[in-house]
Every structure is written in C-alpha cells, then in structure tokens.
Amino acid sequence: MAKKHYQSVVVLTGAGISAESGIRTFRASDGLWEDHHIEDVASPEGFARDPDRVHRFYNQRRDQLLSQSIEPNPAHFSLADFELKFSENFSRDFSRDLSRDLSKSYTLITQNIDDLHERAGSSSPLHMHGELLKIRCSQSGRIFECRDNTTPLSKCPCCGMSGNLRPHVVWFGEMPLYMNEIYQALNSCDLFIAIGTSGNVYPAAGFFETAKMAGAHTVELNLEPSINGSQFAEQHYGPASEVIPHYVKALLAG
Ligand code: NAD
C-alpha cells in the first residue's frame, strides 16, 4: 500500500472475480469458453455464420446467470463496500474543507458481462464488454433489457423485424464501450487495481500502463500472476474471495 489517501481510484475486474460465483473464466481451458470455441460464439463472423448457435450460447449463459446457484461472492461485496466508504469519506472531508480538490472519484470498469457487481451493490460499473442481460437492435443500436431466450426469429421491439437482434456483448474485433470515460478516469487516477484478469484481452490489458503514465500506484490482485503481473508496483495472489476483502480492508484502514 504505497500511499495512505488516494483521490482517484480505478478498479478493473475480469472473469476471475466471478469464478468463485460459479461462472467459468474465458481461458480455463485453451481457447474454449463453456466448451465452445471462442471465435464461434464471440465474433461478428461467428454470428454471421450461425446466428442460431450464438443466440443459444447466450441464452444458456443468461439462464445460468439467472439461476439460483449464481450469486456475488465476497470479492464483489467488498468492492461495493469500498465504493460506499470511499465516497462517504470524501463527503466528510469535503464538508470540512471546501477548498478541497473535487477530483476525488471511484471508477469501476468491468470486462465481465454478468451483473454480479450490481447485485453486490456497486453503483454504476462500466461494462466495457457489454451486458448479458441486454440485447441490441443491430440496425438502430437501441438497447433493451433481456431475461428471456432469443432466436434469429425474435422480433425487435423497436423495428418489429426478425434477425436484427443480437446480444449486447462486445465481440472480438468490435470496439469496447465507454472508452472516453475509461481513459479520462485512467489519465487522472492515483490508484489502479486490476482484479482477476489475465492480461490477454486488449485494450483492457494496457490500462495499467496508461494509469502508470498518469503517475498511479498499480496493483494486481489475481489467482496467479498475469502476463504483465511483474510490471505492477504491488501484487497479491490468491482466490478473489479472500484477497479482495483483505486488500480492501487494508486500503480503508489507510
Ligand atoms: P480470462 O478468462 O482471460 O482470465 C481470467 C483470470 O482470472 C486469470 O488471470 C486467472 O488467473 C484469474 N482467476 C481465475 N480464478 C480466479 C479466482 N478464483 N480469483 C482470482 N482470480 C482468478 O478473463 P479476462 O482477463 O476477464 O478476459 C477475458 C474476457 O472474458 C473478457 O472479455 C470477458 O468479457 C469475458 N468473460 C466474462 C465472464 C463473466 O462475465 N463473468 C466470464 C468469462 C469470460
């Protein structure tokens, strides 16, 4: 823990934070995600080739996410707790000293498409790779909540056409979401924490470098070192449900 009081904190989470909630990571087994080839179910080409398969794949992921067995774990809860206490401390400090810098902020960026951060109480995670519980009209770009199964025949709520709906998920080769907000936060943060991410998927894998250039203290929390692990200023390894609550407690204690 390099500094006692941070003003601007950015947390990036990856599939590892949800692993102990029962959602498998991408790279648990070579290039397969839940026993499917990634390029078949997570690329625009795969969708064009076989939209039925892609709809079925995300229907299964949605069913799994909404099943009773999937719940946020202590890692998700401790980040929500950190957000709450960090902003409480800020309001208290601010009311004491009105000349304080207003730039204190907390930004949670997630590569995950699940909703476990929200369920744990995090207020507005930036889902840079989209959200499983949303679908999108590929013509208008309009986004809709989705808890039911979809097929290539499903009619779009905005245009009434079949074939226009697709998962609101960023596939390989597509532009991630919220990039302006994300780079703005990275360029002004003084603490950057990467949690449960392998460092394989860009641009997220390069965020620590941007934060470092901005002068931030960088921390990796993961089951094992990621590809870039040695380049972080601080590292803690072990299961997210143990390492994150422990780290957050120490951070809040200053
Ligand atoms: P990844 O699958 O490439 O890597 C997972 C990382 O999590 C690894 O570094 C691994 O060491 C770590 N990990 C595994 N179990 C852990 C645990 N119990 N505690 C802490 N860390 C643990 O995941 P990624 O880097 O997030 O990138 C891949 C992509 O996977 C993202 O684009 C994301 O959209 C997609 N994805 C999302 C979900 C989800 O929404 N939960 C699940 C699978 C894949």
Per-residue pLDDT of the chain (254 residues; tens, 9 = 90+): 555 689 999 999 999 999 999 998 876 555 667 788 989 999 999 999 999 999 999 999 999 999 989 999 999 999 999 999 987 765 555 555 544 444 469 999 999 999 999 999 999 999 999 999 999 999 999 999 999 999 999 999 999 999 999 999 999 999 999 999 999 999 999 999 999 999 888 999 999 999 999 999 999 999 999 999 999 999 999 999 999 999 999 999 88
Reading the block at residue 50, the tokens are 């076989």
**Choosing from 76, 117, 127, 129, which is the catalytic residue?**
129
Ligand 1 atom closest to Cα of residue 201: 27
Residue 14 Cα to ligand 1 middle (Å):
5
Residue listed under structure tokens 């990571």: 25
The closest of 71, 4, 20 to 243, measured between CA atoms, is 20
Residue 112 near residue 130 (C-beta atoms within 8 A): no
Ligand 1 within 6 A of CB of 73: no
Structural tokens at position 204: 């997220």
Verify whether ligand 1 is closer than 6 Å to residue 224 (CB atom).
yes
Task: Using most ligand atoms within 8 A of CB, pick from 23, 26, 122 the residue to mutate for ligand 1.
Answer: 26
- With a 6 Å cutoff on the Cβ, whether 210 touches ligand 1 is no
Pick from 170, 166, 162, 163: nearest CA to 143? 166
**Closest C-alpha among 183, 196, 194, 144 to residue 165:** 144
76 is catalytic: no
Helix (H, G, I), strand (E, B) or coil at 128: coil
Q: How far apart are CA 232 and CA 216, in angstroms?
A: 10
- Testing ligand 1's pocket by substitution, the residue of 20, 23, 25 carrying the most ligand atoms inside 8 A of its CB is 25
What is the DSSP secondary-structure string of 25-71? PGGGBTTEETTEEHHHHSSHHHHHH-HHHHHHHHHHHHHHHHSTT--
Q: What is the pTM of this model?
A: 0.93
* List of E strands, 67-176: 105-110, 126-127, 130-137, 143-145, 165-169
CB 8 within 8 A of CB 189: yes
Q: Which residue, 110, 141, 115, is CA-closest to 61?
A: 115
Rounded to whole angstroms, the Cα distance separating 48 from 128 reads 22
Closest-CA residue, ligand 1 atom 7, reads 16
